[in-house]
Chains A and B, each alone.
Chain A
Amino acid sequence: MIRSSLWSRAFDGVNVALLLMFSLGTVLPFIHVIASSFASERLVAETDFLLFPTEFSLKAYQYIFSSDALPRSMGVSVFVTVAGTALNLFMTSLMAYSLSRRTIRFRAPIMFLVVFTMIFQGGLIPDYLVVKELGLLDSYWALMLPRAILPFYLIILINFFKQLPDGLEESARIDGCGDLRLLFRIVLPLSLPALATLTLFYAVMHWNTYMHAILYINDMDKWPIQVLLRQIVLISQAGFVEQGSVEGEASIPPDTVRMAVITVATFPILLVYPFLQKYFASGILLGSVKG
C-alpha cells in the first residue's frame, strides 16, 4: 500500500514537472519578446533571454509608428476583423438555424454537402479565379466573403441550437411566433455562449489573416497587419544572412523593432484572450465532434 502511494506520488511529481516545463516553454517566449520590445538595443544585445526590461526604451515603437504604414495596416485589420466577424455571425447563424429545424426537408443531403467541403476543395487556383471573376481582387470583400461560413463552426452552432429545449419552440409557435421572431427573439438570445465562442474564433481568424491577403490583395495600402509584419521581418532577415558586412546599417530594423511589431500584432489577441478562455471548458467544441 505504501509502495503504491509512493509510486503514485513520483508519478504526480514527474507529471507536474513536465507539464510546467511545457507551459513555461509556450509562455516565456512571449514575455521575452514583449520585454525586449520595451528594452534598449544594448540590453537586448547583451541578454540572451530577457524577461524584464531593466533599461527601458520606447525607441522601437517610435520607429515603427514614425511612418503611417503600421497605423494604416492596423486600421485595415481592425476593419476587416469587425466587419468580417459580423458577416460570419450573420451568415452562420441564419444557416445554422435553418439546418437545426426538425421539419426541414433535404437536411441530410445539405449536411453532407457541407461536410464534404471540409475534406475536398477546388484548390488554390479555382478559388482565386472565382474571387477574380467576382471582381473582388484588391477589395476588402476578398478577405471576408470567401470565409463567410466555416463548416466546422456552422456544425458547432447547429448542434448548439438543436440541444435547446423543444418546449420553447412549441410554446412560441402556439403564441403565433414565426421563424424570424423565433430566431431573433428566442434562439439567438439563448445561444449567447455559443455565439460568443464563435465571435472570438472568427475574430482571431480575421486578425491573423495572411495567406488570403497575399493571394487577393496587391495594393500595399490595403495590407493587413500580418502582411506588413512579414515584410518588416523579411527586410531584417536579409540583414542577418550578411551579418557583419552590413551590421549597424540604419536601413535594417534591429531586433527590438521586430519584437515591437510582434507585440503590436499580438496585443489585441492577448487582450481578448481572457474572454476566450472562459469558453474553452464549456464543451461547446466537443459538440461538433459528436454531432
Chain B
Amino acid sequence: MSHSTISTRHERPVRKRRSALWRDLSRDRWIYILLLPGIAYFILFKYIPMGGVLIAFQDYNAFSGFGGSEWVGFKHFERLFAEPSFYRLLRNTLMLSLYNLVLGFPAPIILALMLNELRMKWLKRSIQTMIYVPHFMSWVVVVTMFFVLFESYDGLFQSWIASLGLDKFTIMMNADWFRPMYILQVLWRDSGWGTVIYLAALAGISPELYEASRMDGASRLRQIWHITLPGIRSTIVILFILKLSDVLDLSFEHIFLLLNAVNRDVADVFDTYVYRVGLLQGQMSYSTAVGLFKGLVGLVLVSFANWFSKKFGEEGIF
C-alpha cells in the first residue's frame, strides 16, 4: 500500500531525471561513440578473461567449451594446496617479490636523490641519458647480455675470477646464484628509468625551502631528510602501491627467460608454473585456479596498502 503511494509520488521526478539523462546522452552522442572502441577493448580483452577465471571451478575442456564443462567447485584449489610444489612456488614467488620490494623499489629513489644533488646540469643530463638506456631493451637482450658478460668462457666475469686465482664457475646456470643475478638484472635494467617520475616530483619542490634551511645551517643530509624526502612522499606512496600491484607478477617474461632445468627449484614461480601446466600440459582449469590464487593474493595486498595509505592521510590509487 504505502509502497505504491511512494512510487506514484516519485514518478514525475524520475521521468524528468531520465529525460535529462537522455538529453545529455544525445547532446554528447559523439563522445559516447568515440568511447565505444575503448569499452569494447576493455570488455573483450580484460573483463571477459576476468569472467573466464570461472573455469577454475570447472573441468574445462575445449570440446565442451565454457557452457558444457562440468562444475567441480574448489577441487582445483584443494589440489593446489595439497601439491608439494605449492610451497616451493609460494616461497620462490615471495622471495623474489621481497628482493624486488626491498632492493628494487628503493633503488630509483636513492638514485633520484643522488641525481638531484648534482649541481652541473649537463652532467646530470648525460648521466640520465646513460642510465635510462637499458630500460628500453627487451628482457631477451638483457638476459643475453648477462650471459655474454658473466657466462662466456672468455668473457669479462670469467676472466676476472680467473685473474683472482679462482676457478671459473658457471654463475648464470647456477641455482645458488639465481636470486642475486635475478635482482642484479632488475636493478641494472630498471632502477635508472625508475628515477624519471621521482625527478619530476623533485623538480616541484620549492627552492625557497632549501635556501631557508641553508640559512639555518642545515647540512646536505639534513636537507635531504627534512625537505627532499617529505617533498616526494606522496609520489613514493603511490608508486609503492602500484609496485605492489605487480610485485607478484615479477615480470613473468624475465623469469621465463632465466628458468632452466638447473635452477627450477628456486626459479619456478606461479606464472611459469601456470604456463607449463596450462599451456604445455593442457590442464586449463587447474592452471587457471593457480593464476586466480596468485591474482587474488595480489589484489588483497594492493587493497590493504591502499586502505593503509588513505588511513594515514595519503592519497590512494582508487
Contacts and interface: CB of A to CB of B under 8 A. Distances in A.
A265 B141 contact: yes
Given A98-B35, A126-B291, 16 more contacts: A4-B217, A8-B219, A22-B131, A23-B130, A23-B131, A26-B131, A49-B156, A94-B34, A98-B34, A122-B51, A123-B274, A126-B48, A183-B34, A208-B136, A277-B129, A277-B132
B279 A215 contact: yes
A127 B48 CA distance: 9
Interface in A238-270: 240-241, 243, 255, 258-259, 262, 265-266, 269-270
B34 A121 contact: no
Closest 8 CB pairs of A and B: A122-B49, A95-B38, A126-B52, A123-B291, A208-B138, A179-B30, A126-B49, A98-B35
Contacts of B160: 48
B274 to A, nearest CB: 5
Nearest to A179: B30
Nearest to B138: A208
A283 B203 contact: yes
B148 A259 contact: yes
20 contacts: A4-B217, A11-B221, A23-B192, A25-B188, A94-B34, A103-B31, A119-B302, A121-B50, A122-B46, A124-B279, A154-B38, A180-B30, A207-B138, A208-B141, A211-B252, A211-B253, A229-B144, A258-B148, A280-B132, A285-B197
A12 interface: yes
Contacts of A146: 45
B284 interface: yes
Nearest to A95: B38
A98 B24 contact: no
A22 B114 CA distance: 12
B223 to A, nearest CB: 11
A98 to B, nearest CB: 4
A149 B318 contact: no
Interface of A: 4, 7-8, 11-12, 15-16, 18-20, 22-27, 29-30, 32-33, 44-46, 48-49, 90-92, 94-95, 97-99, 101, 103-105, 110, 112-130, 134, 145-146, 148-149, 154, 178-180, 183, 204, 207-211, 214-215, 226, 229-230, 233, 237, 240-241, 243, 255, 258-259, 262, 265-266, 269-270, 273, 276-277, 280-281, 283, 285-286, 289
Interface residues of B, number: 100
Contact of A19 (B35, B114, B217): B114
B14 interface: no
B209 interface: no
A149 B45 CA distance: 10
Contact of B24 (A8, A103, A286): A103
Among the interface residues B52, B151, B294, which one has the most CB atoms of the partner chain A within 10 A? B52
B200 A286 contact: yes
Contacts of A281: 128, 199-200
Given A98-B32, A259-B148, A273-B136, A289 B55 contact: no
Among the interface residues A18, A211, A229, A281, which one has the most CB atoms of the partner chain B within 10 A? A211
B242 to A, nearest CB: 8
B41 A120 contact: no
Given A130-B52, A286-B200, A210 B253 contact: yes
A273 B193 CA distance: 13
Given A20-B127, A204-B136, A266-B137, A125 B284 contact: yes
Interface stretch (B3-11, B92-100, B116-124): B116-124
A282 to B, nearest CB: 9
A258 to B, nearest CB: 6
Contact of A18 (B114, B139, B279): B114
A87 to B, nearest CB: 10
Contact of B279 (A8, A125, A145): A125
Contacts of A119: 245, 298-299, 302, 317
A123 B159 contact: no
Nearest to A286: B200
B137 A269 contact: yes
B103 interface: no
Contacts of A49: 156
B37 interface: yes
Among the interface residues B28, B44, B136, which one has the most CB atoms of the partner chain A within 10 A? B136
B154 interface: yes
A4 B217 CA distance: 9
A153 B55 CA distance: 31
A237 B147 contact: yes
B288 A126 contact: yes
